Structure 1
Amino acid sequence: MTQHDRWTPTEITPADAGVAATAEGLVGYLTGHPDLGGLLTERKALVFRGFGVTPQSLEPVMDILLPHRLAYVHGNSPRTKVGANVYTSTEYPPEFTISMHNELSYAAAWPTRLLFFCEIAAETGGATPVVDAALWLELLDPQVRAAFAGGVRYVQNLHDGLGLGKSWQQTFETDSREEVEKFLAASGAEWSWTADGLRVSQIRPATTVHPVTGAEVWFNQSDQWHPAALGDDTARALAQILKEDELPQSVRFADGSPIPDGYVIQVRDRALEAAVDVDWRPGDLLLIDNLLVAHGRRPYTGKRRVLVAMTD
C-alpha cells in the first residue's frame, strides 16, 4: 500500500465532535480542542462538514482557525476580495483544471494554513483536489528532482493597468510604488520599473522542509509559471506575439537555463494523478497545512462560489 492510498483529509462532523450541527457548535468544538494545530499537522488537512456554516456565520470560525488573516499580497492568480482578507478562490474559467500548488510558494513568505469555505457547490465537478506534498516530491523521477535542486527563478511582468495578466497595483494591493519597493526589498527580489509597469525576478528553492515534521516537500510553482503548462494552442499563440521574457510570468532554473517542457508536465501530471478530491457541499470548510498539502481545482459546470482565507 502506498502513502497515497493511506492518506485522505480527515472529515469532522457534528457527531464526531459531539456538538450541535450549527456554526456555534463548531466554534465550541474548535475553542475547546486541546491542540488544533497539532491535529492539523498530524492529519495535514481537515474537512468540517454538516455544521450549517453560512457566509453570515463564517467569521467566528475563521477567527479561531486563522488567528492572523493575511492579505493576498504578491498573489498571481485572479480573485476578488470579498471581506477582511477573505477572497474568492481563483477565478479561472470553469472548464479548466487548476493544477496542484502550495499557496504563494514562489514568494519569500507564504501562509502556513489555508481555509476554504463552500458557499455554493457547482452543479457538476468543481472539487478541490489535494495532494500530500512529500508524496508529490517522491513521485518525481530522480533526474527531475536533481535538476531542480538548485532552485528556480520566477519572472513577472506586471502591467500598469492595461495588458495581459495582473497589474502591479492588483498584485500588491496598493497604488504606492514606495510600498511595493519596500515589500520587494524585504523579500530579496530584484525589480525594475518599466515603461509599461514593473518587472520582478526572484530565485526561490524548489523544495522546503516542514518546521514540525521535518518532511521535505515539493514547494514551487514552476509548472504553473512555465509556458508549456498553458497548453499547446495557448503557448503557441502567445509565442507568436511575445518573447518568453515578455510573458506576464515565466520560470527558469536558478542559473538561468531553461526548464525542459517534459519536466514541468511531469510535475503537473503526477500531482494531479495522485490527488484526492474534496467534493463540496454548501457549508463545508477545508483547512489545510499549506506546506504539507498542495491543492488545485477540477473543472465544473454551473455556479460555484468557494471563498479562501489564509494565516501565517
Structure 2
Amino acid sequence: MNEDWTPLEIDPAAAGVEASPEGLLGHLGGLDVGALLAQEKAVVFRGFGITPDGLGEVFDRLLPDRLAYVHGNSPRTKVGDNVYTSTEYPPEYTISMHNELSYSHAWPSRLAFYCQRAPETGGATPLTDGVRWLEALDPDLREAFAGGVRYLQNLHGGRGLGKSWQATFETEDPGEVEEFLRGTESTWEWRGDGGLRVVQVRPATHRHPVTGAEVWFNQADQWHPAGLGDETAAALARIMPAEDLPQSVTLADGTPIPGEWAVQIRDRGLAAAVDVDWHAGDLMVIDNVLLGHGRRPFTGPRRVLVAMSQ
C-alpha cells in the first residue's frame, strides 16, 4: 500500500448509469465484486441516492448470503435482515483499527457500510492495509506474536460488565451456544453466576486467499486494557484482574502482552490509515482481510449501517 492509496470511488458518471439506486444495481450486475476488491481493497459508491428502503436489494448484490453478527464483541443493534448499526461506542472516542471477527474461528470476507445520516463533523471510517500494518510493527513484536494470540471472553448471563452471552450469540438457549462453540476450536465453561467463559487461540497474521499477501490479522490491542488508554487500563486493574474482564488477551502460550506492545499496535495501525468521509447515501464495500477499519470521533447524530458476508 503506497502512501497515496485511496479506495476506488465510483459515481454515476464513472459507471455510465443514471444517478439512482436502479442505476447502481445495473452497474453491480456486471461487476465481479470479489475480484475488484482483491485488486482495489475498498470501493466507495457515491451519488446514487440510496435510501434505507432500497438498501436490502443493494446489499443482496454486494453481499450474497449475509451473515449474522454471532460471537461479535462490539455493541450493535440489528435493524434488518442481518443488517446492523455500526459499533455503538461513544462518539468522542476513536475506534482503533481491526478486521471484523479476526479473533473468531471464521470471519466475513467482505463488509459493506451504508451512511444513512452523516455526522456534523468527523466520523470518518479509517482504513489500514494489513500488509503495511504488519510491516510497521517492530521485529521483536512480530516474532513474539508468531505463535498466535489467546483470547478470553467473560460473557455475563444478563447483568454485568460487557456483553451477555445471549446478545453475543443471538439466542437464549445454552444448547445452541454450545453447538456453535463446538465447531470453533474454542474451550468454554459455564460459570456459577450464569455467565460463560470462552477461550480461543488464533493466528496473529493471515494470508489473503487470492493475493497471498500476509496481513496483520488479530485484535490483541482492542482486547488489551492498555489499548483503551492509561486511565481506563488503571481503572480496570483496580476493579478486577485481567482474566475476569469481559475480554482479555495474551500470547498463545499465556505469556502476558506488554502494554506498550498493545499501544504500538493500536497507534501504528491508526497512523497508516486512510480516512473515508461520509455523506448521506454513500455506500462502501471492503475486503475484510486486506483492510482493517475503525472510526474517528464525531459530533452530531451519525447513523452508519453495516452488513457482512463470506
Please tell me the residue identity of whatever aligns with 1:122.
Answer: P
CA distance in structure 1 between the aligned counterparts of 2:265 and 2:143, rounded to whole angstroms: 13
CA distance in structure 1 between the aligned counterparts of 2:2 and 2:121, rounded to whole angstroms: 25
Please tell me the residue identity of whatever aligns with 1:217.
Answer: V
1:255-308: per-residue Cα shift (whole Å, max 9, x none)? 000001111111100110110000000000110000001100000000000000
Alignment of structure 1 residues 1-312 onto 2, 5 Å: 3-33=1-31, 35-196=32-193, 197-312=195-310
SS of residue in 2 equivalent to 1:71: coil
CA distance in structure 2 between the aligned counterparts of 1:129 and 1:241, rounded to whole angstroms: 32
CA distance in structure 2 between the aligned counterparts of 1:127 and 1:244, rounded to whole angstroms: 32
SS of residue in 1 equivalent to 2:3: helix
SS of residue in 2 equivalent to 1:149: helix
Please tell me the residue identity of whatever aligns with 2:224.
Answer: H
Please tell me the residue identity of whatever aligns with 1:53.
Answer: I
1:172-221: per-residue Cα shift (whole Å, max 9, x none)? 00011111011111001000000220000010000000000000000000
SS of residue in 2 equivalent to 1:42: helix
SS of residue in 1 equivalent to 2:196: strand
8 Å CA contact 1:112–1:289 kept in 2: the answer is yes
Instruction: Kindly state the Cα deviation for residue 32 of structure 1 after the two structures are TM-superposed.
Output: 2.1
CA RMSD of aligned residues (A): 0.7
CA distance in structure 2 between the aligned counterparts of 1:220 and 1:36, rounded to whole angstroms: 25
1:127-162: per-residue Cα shift (whole Å, max 9, x none)? 000011111101111111111000010000000000
8 Å CA contact 1:116–1:287 kept in 2: the answer is yes
Please tell me the residue identity of whatever aligns with 2:307.
Answer: A
Gaps of 5+ in 1: none
Please tell me the residue identity of whatever aligns with 1:202.
Answer: Q
Please tell me the residue identity of whatever aligns with 2:84.
Answer: Y
CA distance in structure 1 between the aligned counterparts of 2:38 and 2:80, rounded to whole angstroms: 27
User: With structure 2 as the length reference, what TM-score do the two structures score?
Assistant: 0.99
CA distance in structure 2 between the aligned counterparts of 1:123 and 1:6, rounded to whole angstroms: 26
Instruction: Kindly state the Cα deviation for residue 106 of structure 1 after the two structures are TM-superposed.
Output: 0.1
8 Å CA contact 1:100–1:296 kept in 2: the answer is yes
Instruction: Kindly state the Cα deviation for residue 241 of structure 1 after the two structures are TM-superposed.
Output: 1.5
Please tell me the residue identity of whatever aligns with 2:165.
Answer: W
CA distance in structure 2 between the aligned counterparts of 1:134 and 1:234, rounded to whole angstroms: 30
CA distance in structure 2 between the aligned counterparts of 1:281 and 1:241, rounded to whole angstroms: 41
SS of residue in 2 equivalent to 1:187: coil
Please tell me the residue identity of whatever aligns with 1:63.
Answer: D
CA distance in structure 1 between the aligned counterparts of 2:82 and 2:59, rounded to whole angstroms: 11
CA distance in structure 2 between the aligned counterparts of 1:189 and 1:67, rounded to whole angstroms: 27
8 Å CA contact 1:72–1:85 kept in 2: the answer is yes
Please tell me the residue identity of whatever aligns with 2:67.
Answer: L
Instruction: Kindly state the Cα deviation for residue 6 of structure 1 after the two structures are TM-superposed.
Output: 3.6
8 Å CA contact 1:159–1:198 kept in 2: the answer is yes
CA distance in structure 2 between the aligned counterparts of 1:78 and 1:303, rounded to whole angstroms: 17
CA distance in structure 1 between the aligned counterparts of 2:258 and 2:274, rounded to whole angstroms: 27
Please tell me the residue identity of whatever aligns with 2:2.
Answer: H
Please tell me the residue identity of whatever aligns with 1:43.
Answer: E
8 Å CA contact 1:4–1:132 kept in 2: the answer is no
Moved more, 150-159 or 239-248: 239-248
SS of residue in 2 equivalent to 1:68: coil
CA distance in structure 1 between the aligned counterparts of 2:111 and 2:104, rounded to whole angstroms: 16
SS of residue in 2 equivalent to 1:4: coil
